[in-house]
Homo-oligomer: A and B are copies of this chain.
Amino acid sequence: MQIPVIQKVLAANDLIAEELRAQFENAGLFVVNLLGSPGAGKTSLLERTLERAGGMKMGVIEGDLATSLDADRIARFGVPVVQINTGGGCHLDAAMVRKALGSLDASGLDVLLIENVGNLICPAEFDLGEACKAVVCSLPEGDDKVLKYPAIFSLASAVVLNKLDLLNYLNFNLPDFRRHLAELNPDAALVELSCLTGEGFDRWMEWLELEARKAREPGGGSRSPAQCRE
C-alpha cells in the first residue's frame, strides 16, 4: 500500500518542481538545494558565503523542523530570508518552497540558497526545482559517509567537506573520502574547506560564481541538472 502512495506524492512534487525550475530559469536565478546531516555546517556555510557575496545578490530559504534560529542567523546579513518549519517533516518539498517564495522578494537576485532539513537521506528524493544539489558533509561525521549514504552523494553536483580545521584532532582518512566520492560520483566538484578559518573557501565561491554566471547566460538555464558540474 505504501509505495504507490509515495510515488504519487513524488509525482505531484515533481510537477511543482518543474514549474519552479522554469520560473527560476526565466529569471536567470541560480538555485542551490543545500543538503546535509544535522550540524554539518550548512548555516555556517551560508553565513560565510553571504560575507563574501561581493556583487552577487543572494537570498536564502531556511528549512528546519522547528525554531527560526537559522533564519535569525541569516537575517543579520540583511538579505531576503524565509524560514520554513516542517513540524515533524524530514525534508522540504516543492510546495513548501513555492509557498515560501510568496514571502521572499526574489526579484533582482542572482542566487537563491535553500537550506534543507538536516538529514542525509530523505531530502534527496524531493526535487525543489533547483539547478543543483550541494551536499555539506563534515570531518567529524567520519570518512565512510559516501559509502553509507550513497543516494544523496550520487545526486550532488558539489560536495562541501567542512570542518577541515579539525583534521589533526580526528581519525579521518582524507584520501579515502576523496576516493569513495570519485568512485561513486566522479562529476561532483569536491570542495574541502573550513567555515571557521576560511581555509579553502575561495574554491567554493568560485564554483558558485561560475554556476551563477552560467544560469544568467541565454539558454544557460535549460541545461539538465547533470550538466551543473565542472
Contacts and interface: CB of A to CB of B under 8 A. Distances in A.
Contact of A66 (B69, B90, B150): B150
A18 to B, nearest CB: 20
Interface in A72-108: 88, 90
> Counting chain B CB atoms within 10 Å of each CB, which of A8, A38, A150, A163 scores highest?
A38
A120 interface: yes
A151 B88 CA distance: 7
A144 to B, nearest CB: 6
Contact of A122 (B90, B169, B196): B90
B118 A148 contact: yes
Contact of A69 (B8, B38, B144, B151): B144
A148 B1 contact: no
A143 to B, nearest CB: 10
A150 B38 contact: no
B5 A148 contact: no
Given A37-B39, A121-B117, A140-B163, A147 B66 contact: yes
* This protein's copies in its complex: 2
A138 B169 CA distance: 15
Contacts of A211: none
Interface string A110-152: 0000000111111001000000000000101110110111110
Interface string A39-50: 100000000000
Contact of A37 (B37, B65, B125): B37
6 contacts: A1-B5, A37-B39, A65-B151, A90-B121, A119-B121, A122-B122
Given A37-B141, A66-B150, 8 more contacts: A1-B5, A1-B8, A37-B118, A88-B121, A90-B121, A118-B120, A118-B149, A166-B169
